[in-house]
Chain A
Amino acid sequence: MIARLRDSPGARHHDGSIQTVSDAVPGEVFRQVYAQLELSPASGGIIGITSAISGEGRTTIALGMARTLANDLDIPVLLVEADFDRPSIAGRLGLSVKEGLCEVLRGEARLESVMLPIGDNLAVITAGTVGTDAGHLLGQLPILDPFHSTDRGPSVVLIDLPPITAYGYSARAARIADVTVLVVRSGVTPIETVREAVSRLGDQPPRGLILNAQRSALPAWWPAG
């Protein structure tokens, strides 16, 4: 499948992008991202999706990528919402749940009990009831590490991590992921902020960036750089 993804059709964009940008459907972009993460589709893995600041489209991308991978892969896909400041997945999916990751981290609920199947191959864990201990719970996430359990079998876990520069524990929480992807909104996030986010991730830098909402005003006749 990876080979198929890498051979995805695409034309060179005028801004020098190696990706098929303007003509690609989002699903194809997610497949390309997953292919470049070089995770084994058989064994799965934990993909952390984060950003430098909030509002960069992190949750949207996590949702779209989870849906795409759930359709493409044979192993289960689990979307986990770890953004405790602005939990929005439940609202977007129209779910009314009270228990989620916070309850799991507090020890008030088991992981399996808060997993909500929303598709044939896709389940979601919402943030749950966020309290004043959000920062503490975030710090506990890599310690408790509830997703590396072997008894559930191989699966792809997509974690919607909080913005790196927003929480002191965000970078620490990102360590739970096997690979981290940084979402950067084009034309919005300052370069220094992205650099700081990369720097905070330390010895576990992001595998790469997803440039979101990329928009070029250059006309078609402008020479490719």
Chain B
Amino acid sequence: MEVWPNEDLLNISDNSIRLECDVMKRYADTFFRSWLVALVPIFVLPMAFYMILRGSTNQVPVSAHIWVDRSSIQQIGDTDPYASSAQNMTNYMNQLLQTSAFDLTVAKMSPLYGQQFPAQMQRDGVMAQGVRQNMQVAPLGSDLLIVTFMNKNGLVGEQVVRGFLSAVPQEIRLLSKQTAVKALQYDKSQLKDAQRTFDSYAGKMRSYLKSHHISAAGIDAQRLIDPKFASLYLAVQSAQSNVQSAQQQASLAVNQRAVSGTIRVIDPPGVGSVKSSKKKTLLNLIVGFAFGVLLSATFIVVRTALDRTVRFVDEVPVFFGLPVLGVMPHRPSLAVASHPRSVSDSSDLRRLS
């Protein structure tokens, strides 16, 4: 399609400024002819962008950054030895979020959040489900992770995140305690078995020494003489070693109960994270305005390009090389029975030729 205004203007005008002026005049004329339509996108698009943003701001993100101690990972049970601390903690937190009881705990720790749900919805688990659906945990590095909660109200989101950050250490401590108790029970059982074995072997050894009238000083000599006594002696020593080892394990399990290392919140959720959405609103309004201006300009340019008619007097010599003898201004009263007809209409007349 030939682009309008085209090179015809160039052929006539030696002055490029004149060319630009003519083109600009057509653009301006188009704008002032249809300024109402042209201005619509400039007003509508920012509003549309604002409404879209408002729809998205129904979910204001509130985030907190958490530092994960490597030692605390030991307390959360099954971990991936090849994964980072943050990844392991993320997996653990996500597992917690899949637990309805945990979600309900978090929800109950956020009174403002709970107010959003009627009693029936709270009973039906919708409230807890909302925590699960709107809470996101993601690692940001080897030891850093971010917890984000989406909610219409930033203050509510802040409270939920704080509740989550309180509930998680509680779960970890509970898990750690359970693990430690299990370990202690196991170690005590092992110690008991080891002690029983030792007592058995020690009793046999005492009986042997008594029946052979051997004093403590003669034990080494008797080991060389009697191989059975030698094996019994080794069994007693082994059982004694096992008892000592079991005692150490039990002691370690008791110490583990005392470990309370959990997560550290280095960037607590706050109002600041909510404020950032206002900047986004302004940015969206500016972007909407820019798109509106662009759309309006496109409308003007396209409409001008598609208009291939003579508009101004000074265009007549340019396009036809003919002078303008007169100009009849547009006056509806003069247009008596003179209805503009298109070129296609005139084709009907050719049948007569």
> Are A and B co-members of a single complex?
yes
Interface residues, chain A, with chain B CB atoms under 8 Å away: 13, 15-19, 21-22, 24, 26, 29-30, 32-33, 36-37, 53-57, 59-61, 64, 84-85, 88, 91-92, 134-135, 162-163, 165-170, 181-182, 184-195, 198, 205-219, 222-223, 225
Assess the B339–A17 pair: CB atoms within 8 A.
no
Shortest CB–CB separation between residue A93 and chain B, in angstroms?
A: 11
Interface residues, chain B, with chain A CB atoms under 8 Å away: 18, 21-22, 25, 28-30, 32-33, 307-314, 316, 319-320, 322-331, 334-343, 345-346, 349-350, 352-353
Contact of A208 among B312, B325, B341, B342 (CB under 8 A): B325
Q: Which residues of B contact A56 (CB under 8 A)?
A: 338, 340
Contact of B32 among A188, A189, A214, A218 (CB under 8 A): A218
Q: Which residues of A contact B340 (CB under 8 A)?
A: 55-56, 185, 188
Assess the B346–A166 pair: CB atoms within 8 A.
yes
Assess the A206–B322 pair: CB atoms within 8 A.
yes
17 sampled A-B residue pairs with Cβ under 8 A: A17-B313, A29-B327, A55-B340, A59-B338, A60-B334, A91-B337, A165-B346, A166-B353, A167-B352, A169-B353, A186-B311, A189-B309, A193-B343, A205-B322, A211-B324, A216-B311, A225-B21
How distant is the Cα of A184 from the Cα of B328 in the complex, in angstroms?
A: 10
Q: Which residues of A contact B319 (CB under 8 A)?
A: 191, 194-195
Shortest CB–CB separation between residue A103 and chain B, in angstroms?
A: 18
Contact of B326 among A19, A60, A222 (CB under 8 A): A19
Contact of B325 among A22, A36, A54, A60 (CB under 8 A): A36
How distant is the Cα of A186 from the Cα of B329 in the complex, in angstroms?
A: 9
Nearest residue, chain B, Cβ from A168: B353
Assess the A219–B32 pair: CB atoms within 8 A.
yes
Assess the A186–B330 pair: CB atoms within 8 A.
yes
Q: Which residues of A contact B346 (CB under 8 A)?
A: 53-54, 163, 165-166
Contact of B18 among A55, A193, A223, A225 (CB under 8 A): A225
Shortest CB–CB separation between residue B32 and chain A, in angstroms?
A: 4
Q: Which residues of A contact B325 (CB under 8 A)?
A: 32-33, 36-37, 181, 207-210
